[in-house]
Amino acid sequence: MSKARVTSTECVQAAGGKHHGTHAITSPIVHSAPFCFDDTKDLIDFMEGRSERRQAEYGRMTNPTVTAVEEKLAALEGAEKAQLFSSGMAAVTSLFFTLLQSGDHIILTSDSYRRTRDFGFFLGKFGIKMDIVDPFAKAIEDAVQPSTRLIFSEIPTNPYLHFIDLHEVVEIARKNNVLVVADSTFATPCNLKPLEIGVNLVIHSATKYLGGHNDLIAGVLAGSDELVQPVTEMLMTLGSICDPNTAFLLGRGLKTLGVRVAKQNASGQAVAEFLEKHPRIQRVYYPGLESHPSHDLAKNLMYGYGGVVTFLVEGSFDDTSTFVDHLEIPQIAPSLGGVDSLVEQVAIMSFWNLPKSEREALGIPDNLVRLAIGIEEAEDLIADLDQALKAR
Ligand SMILES: Cc1ncc(COP(=O)(O)O)c(C=O)c1O
């Protein structure tokens, strides 16, 4: 079983170096909408792909700061090409628009980011059908139809952190000539490299661990040139490019990805073990715990289990809010993967517009909490959780 990951050394060094003739150790932020040509021959060489020195002609197509980060991300994921986007959702929507056409069918696993699901439903307007199935290989296999074009799953899923058996799903997809896309936002290349298992494309909300500081919105798609390039063309039309300032912040964040994720893996495990023994906690979902339904799969696939811990507080909606309100370290906010710990009562943060009965049908009870651990010390987080759980 593969447990490939990138190391902190790779996070610092991959595709680094002396940038663009400036010999700067960091990639300069290049602010330019158009990029100039020396003469007509230079322009024609560029148009015909013979120009080596120039990567950019116009800022909606690409930009040297963006390209530098894309090269780093491709190296970290082990991909031929990585494409940055203005958000994770821009990566998802651009990919679906590129790959799918009327009559196609897609399979999405349940327990996934709500907006991805919403977009799948939206595509129904264009004659694209979607089945949402439980995150198990068998459920995916049963849902495959002759018109199935792609299988899309978060790995692990959100908020319950389930794992599909990627090896099995890749096999099912190969047999049926279907593409597999993994949203690896929660895993990061430090814990899992889906392309090495045979997944065709990897997506991240780079807003989360990759950026890592809760200060940017970006997305990335990585895979073969053949699959990513058409999505790049779509991006150029949709205009959802990542701007150079954001790319710079992302490139800087990537250098510390290895140390951040190592700390978050360790704290995630410590916090999950603490919560599992706490009398005021009904149930903990963390793949590093033997009690998690995906523990064995996660153990085979993952180098570490990440910084998100999901749990049920003993008590009512109000008891859960009281606990959340008494936390002093984690801020109440959506998102995850950054240096600051964040917490959400999932029913409120992500599903407040739905009635309780619909939330529960989606598997979101009132007492469900998602804690996204940052890089604070685990013992401080545990002491904070302990005092907040005592509050009434
Ligand atoms: C797993 C996952 N994928 C995609 C997205 C969308 O990313 P973004 O917020 O960068 O558009 C999110 C956002 O929370 C997410 O959690």
* pLDDT tens column, 69-78: 999 999 999 9
Calculate how far, in angstroms, residue 328's C-alpha sits from the geometric centre of ligand 1: 25
Calculate how far, in angstroms, residue 86's C-alpha sits from the geometric centre of ligand 1: 12
Q: Which pLDDT value is given to residue 2?
A: 53
Quick one: tokens of 251?
Answer: 């490139």
Quick one: tokens of 21?
Answer: 């003739």
Cβ neighbours for 111, distance < 8 A, ≥ 6 positions apart: 135, 154, 157, 158, 159, 160, 162, 363
DSSP 124-135: GGGT-EEEEE-S
Calculate how far, in angstroms, residue 45's C-alpha sits from the geometric centre of ligand 1: 39
How far is Cα 101 from Cα 260, in angstroms, rounded to an integer?
40
Quick one: tokens of 5?
Answer: 């990951």
On whether the CB atoms of residues 68 and 15 are closer than 8 A, the answer is yes
Q: Which pLDDT value is given to residue 221?
A: 98
How far is Cα 115 from Cα 350, in angstroms, rounded to an integer?
10
Calculate how far, in angstroms, residue 83's C-alpha sits from the geometric centre of ligand 1: 16
The CATH number for 258-390, chosen from 3.90.1150.10, 2.60.40.10, 3.40.50.620, 3.40.50.300, is 3.90.1150.10
How far is Cα 293 from Cα 285, in angstroms, rounded to an integer?
9
- Which among 108, 208, 221 is the best mutation to test ligand 1's pocket, defined by most ligand atoms within 8 Å of the CB? 208
How far is Cα 392 from Cα 390, in angstroms, rounded to an integer?
6
Calculate how far, in angstroms, residue 53's C-alpha sits from the geometric centre of ligand 1: 34
Burial of residue 8 (number of CB atoms within 10 Å: 0-12, 13-18, 19+): middle
Calculate how far, in angstroms, residue 57's C-alpha sits from the geometric centre of ligand 1: 30
Whether residue 4 has pLDDT greater than 80: no
Looking at residue 123, the DSSP 8-state letter turns out to be G
Partnered with residue 312 across adjacent β-strands are 283, 368
Cβ neighbours for 5, distance < 8 A, ≥ 6 positions apart: 189, 190, 191, 192, 193, 303, 304
How far is Cα 63 from Cα 36, in angstroms, rounded to an integer?
13
Looking at residue 157, the DSSP 8-state letter turns out to be -
Residue 18 binned pLDDT confidence (cut-offs 50, 70, 90): low
Query: What ranges in 217-353 are assigned the alpha helix state H?
Result: 225-238, 244-255, 257-277, 295-301, 317-326, 346-349
Report the nearest-CA residue for atom 3 of ligand 1. 205
Residue carrying the six token digits 């009562």: 345
Residue 55 binned pLDDT confidence (cut-offs 50, 70, 90): low
Whether residue 86 has pLDDT greater than 70: yes
Whether residue 214 has pLDDT greater than 80: yes
Burial of residue 83 (number of CB atoms within 10 Å: 0-12, 13-18, 19+): buried
Calculate how far, in angstroms, residue 17's C-alpha sits from the geometric centre of ligand 1: 30
Question: How confident is the model over 298-340, as pLDDT tens digits?
Answer: 999 999 999 999 999 999 999 999 999 999 999 999 999 999 9
How far is Cα 17 from Cα 108, in angstroms, rounded to an integer?
39
Q: Assign residue 161 a region: left if phi > 0, alpha if psi is -120 to 50, beta otherwise? A: left
Q: What is the mean pLDDT of residues 243-270?
A: 98
Q: Which pLDDT value is given to residue 365?
A: 97
- Which among 152, 205, 215, 221 is the best mutation to test ligand 1's pocket, defined by most ligand atoms within 8 Å of the CB? 205
Chain centroid to CA 285: how far?
19
How far is Cα 49 from Cα 205, in angstroms, rounded to an integer?
31
Q: Which pLDDT value is given to residue 23?
A: 83
Lowest-confidence segment of 26-30, 119-123, 291-295 by average pLDDT: 26-30
Q: Which residues line ligand 1 (CB under 6 A)?
A: 87-89, 113, 154, 158, 183, 185, 205, 207, 217, 219
How far is Cα 221 from Cα 231, in angstroms, rounded to an integer?
9
| pLDDT higher at 255 or 46 | 255
Of all atoms in ligand 1, which is nearest to the CA of residue 91? 11
Whether residue 287 has pLDDT greater than 90: yes
Q: Which pLDDT value is given to residue 97?
A: 96
Q: What is the mean pLDDT of residues 89-102?
A: 98
Question: How confident is the model over 340-382, as pLDDT tens digits?
Answer: 999 999 999 989 999 999 999 989 999 999 999 999 999 999 9
Q: What is the mean pLDDT of residues 236-253?
A: 97
Of all atoms in ligand 1, which is nearest to the CA of residue 217? 10
Partnered with residue 24 across adjacent β-strands are 19
Quick one: tokens of 339?
Answer: 């240096």
- Which among 161, 207, 240 is the best mutation to test ligand 1's pocket, defined by most ligand atoms within 8 Å of the CB? 207
Calculate how far, in angstroms, residue 353's C-alpha sits from the geometric centre of ligand 1: 19
Question: How confident is the model over 98-122, as pLDDT tens digits?
Answer: 999 999 999 999 988 999 999 999 9
Share of the chain above pLDDT 70, in %: 97
Chain centroid to CA 309: how far?
16
How far is Cα 181 from Cα 178, in angstroms, rounded to an integer?
10
Q: Which pLDDT value is given to residue 111?
A: 85
On whether the 8-255 domain is CATH 3.40.630.30, my answer is: no
- Which among 89, 110, 157 is the best mutation to test ligand 1's pocket, defined by most ligand atoms within 8 Å of the CB? 89
Sheet holding 148-154, edge to edge: 81-85, 219-223, 201-205, 179-183, 148-154, 105-109, 129-133
Looking at this protein, which amino acid is placed at residue 65? T
How far is Cα 283 from Cα 301, in angstroms, rounded to an integer?
23
Q: Which pLDDT value is given to residue 22?
A: 77
Q: Which pLDDT value is given to residue 19?
A: 66
- The domain limits of the chain are 8-255, 258-390
Of all atoms in ligand 1, which is nearest to the CA of residue 116? 4
Please name which of 41, 98, 47, 89 lies closest in space to residue 228, comparing C-alpha atoms: 98
Report in angstroms the alpha-carbon separations of 92 from 60, 64, 70, 99.
18, 23, 17, 11
Mean pLDDT of the chain, nearest integer: 95
Please name which of 371, 159, 386 lies closest in space to residue 279, comparing C-alpha atoms: 386
Of all atoms in ligand 1, which is nearest to the CA of residue 90? 11
Residue 53 binned pLDDT confidence (cut-offs 50, 70, 90): low
Calculate how far, in angstroms, residue 205's C-alpha sits from the geometric centre of ligand 1: 5
Question: How confident is the model over 148-197, as pLDDT tens digits?
Answer: 999 999 999 999 999 999 999 999 999 999 999 999 999 999 999 999 99
